[in-house]
Amino acid sequence: MVDEEVVVLPKKHKKKKDQKSLQKEDVAEIQQAEEFLIKPESKVAQLDTLHWPLLLKNFDKLNNFDKLNVRTIHYTPLPCGSNPLKREIGDYIRTGFINLDKPSNPSSHEVVAWIRRILRVEKTGHSGTLDLKVTDCLIVCIERATCLMKSQQSAGKEYVGIVQLHNAIEGGTPLSRA
């Protein structure tokens, strides 16, 4: 048997993170302060036609390179729209929806009217009428999102209730009739 030496290497201690990485507030400030877009450049892309198909191989050396449509590294920002980080809150409201826990007494129509008045918008719609005494999630779409209501209105309603009885019931038929 051959004697083997066992070499024990000292463990590397992990550095404790004394400094926190960027906090959420810091990231938000950076996103608000800077423009996150690709800067346009006038540099023309260099094409290597050596590995192209036979008819186009060495095209740049034999023929005029200017005849090829060459994609440049140029970025043109769209004139409409905005960066989501710098979008106004009004744009979010006009294209959004609210998943609302409806209280038990007001009707769905009444709750939607409250939201319309609070947000000062013209169009609001809800996913379906809930009964008066029911508390449930009511999806309220605002302005441009109201066109999405058709998909939610076709979904069925399902109620879950909790019943507390004074005495035990023999068999399940009286409970199922109730």
* Tens digits of residue pLDDT in 147-157: 877 777 777 76
- CA neighbor of 157 nearest in space, from 116, 102, 85: 102
Instruction: Give the strand pairing for 124-126 and 97-102.
Output: unpaired
At residue 155's C-alpha, the angle toward residues 150 and 159, to 5°, is 135
Q: Residue 117 — very low, low, confident or very high, per pLDDT cuts 50/70/90? A: very high
Percent of the chain predicted with pLDDT > 70:
58
Domain positions in the chain are 29-79, 88-153
Whether the Cβ atoms of residue 80 and residue 128 lie closer than 8 Å to each other: no
pLDDT beyond 80 at 6:
no
Cα first-last separation, the chain? 85
pTM comes to 0.49
CA distance 98 to 75: 36
Report the catalytic residues.
131
Which H or E run contains 156?
A: none
Whether the Cβ atoms of residue 118 and residue 111 lie closer than 8 Å to each other: no
Residues 6+ apart with CB under 8 A from 141: 96, 97, 124, 125, 126, 127, 148, 149
32-80 tens-digit pLDDT = 777 766 666 666 666 666 666 666 665 555 555 555 666 666 666 666 7
Whether the Cβ atoms of residue 96 and residue 142 lie closer than 8 Å to each other: yes
Q: Residue 89 — very low, low, confident or very high, per pLDDT cuts 50/70/90? A: confident
Whether the Cβ atoms of residue 143 and residue 120 lie closer than 8 Å to each other: no
78-87 tens-digit pLDDT = 667 777 777 8
